Structure 1
């Protein structure tokens, strides 16, 4: 069984997150700079491995002041902890094209196991002849586990920033042999 290494096509991959704000609303954000690789053994995805590194400073919620606060020591402390890293430990088949990707996520030098609910969306060649593989995955985590504990009590009750963070990934990958400027 041939082993294939794939790299994330960063122009066609989105790493997004959502968190409650003021109890009643949600704030959406994403990381804009990252790299990752996927190693496959044929079509048996239970033998796959994944590693992704996100640049913490690349987070973007669309509001510069909020992004700067999230980059500060109150949250990600990007000067001291520049990367968020996910490394898979195993992939479990669920049903059909659905999988559970179990791995370790490291944020602020704190590592905890997370489980991604993933779906293989398919494989195809783009109009330029480059083979692509696409996945979608979701998970959620408690940000306090990773040292992201800053908050502020609301006068009417509750807190400014929710503890649960929902993460959604839309991933396209190309063979690692494809030069980065040809992946787009």
Structure 2
């Protein structure tokens, strides 16, 4: 078997999210600085692993005042908790090119198990001879489970910020030199 490490190509990858605002609207955002790797043991993705580290301060919703509030102790408290980290524990097949990636997500030093619904989009050689993998994944979390509890009640009922956060990930990864595994 061959162990292959794939580094995330952050210029061709996106880690985004969506949360409800004032009950009826949606706010979309992303993290602009992150790093990660996928490690595969042969062609069987169920023997693989994933690790991604996001810089909390790189949160970007397109509104500077909101982004600064999200960086504050009310939400991510980036001074005390600079990274959001996902480490997979297992990968299970869920259909053709589809997988459930179960792992630990850590936000604000709170770690919870999450399951990503992932799809392998393909494997190709780029024009420069590098081998690439592309994945798409998604999940939803309750932000309160990670200590992100700030909110404000609305006069008309409901809360200013939704509790459910939908996460969407589009990844390209580039192969590093492979290593033969001893038998």
What TM-score does the superposition give when structure 2 sets the normalisation length?
0.96
Once residues 14 and 71 of structure 2 are traced to their aligned partners in structure 1, the CA distance between those partners, rounded to angstroms, is 19
In the other structure, the counterpart of 2:131 is 131
> Partner residue of 2:153?
153
1:180 is aligned to none
Tell me the distance in 1 between the aligned counterparts of 2:64 and 2:50. 31
Identify the residue that residue 113 of structure 1 maps to in structure 2.
113
**TM-superposition CA deviations, 1:19-44 (whole Å, max 9, x none):** 00000000000000000011001110
Range 127-136 or range 70-79, more displaced: 127-136
- Structure 2 equivalent of residue 181 of structure 1: none
Secondary structure of 1:167's counterpart equals: strand
Q: Following TM superposition, by how much is the alpha carbon of 1:127 offset from its aligned partner in structure 2, in angstroms?
A: 1.2
Matched with 1:31 is 31
Question: 2:90 and 2:22 mapped to 1: Cα distance?
Answer: 37
Determine helix, strand or coil for the equivalent of 1:69: helix
Moved over 6 A (4+): none
- Tell me how far apart the structure 2 counterparts of residues 98 and 144 of structure 1 sit (CA, whole Å): 29
Counterpart mapping for 1:91-106 below 5 A: 91-106=91-106
Say what the alpha-carbon RMSD is for the aligned residues: 0.6
Equivalences for residues 154-169 of structure 1 within 5 A: 154-169=154-169
Deviations 1:11-66 (A, max 9, x none): 00000000000000000000000000110011100000000000000000000000
CA distance in 1, matches of 2:92, 2:147: 29
User: Does residue 1:57 correspond to 2:54, yes or no?
Assistant: no
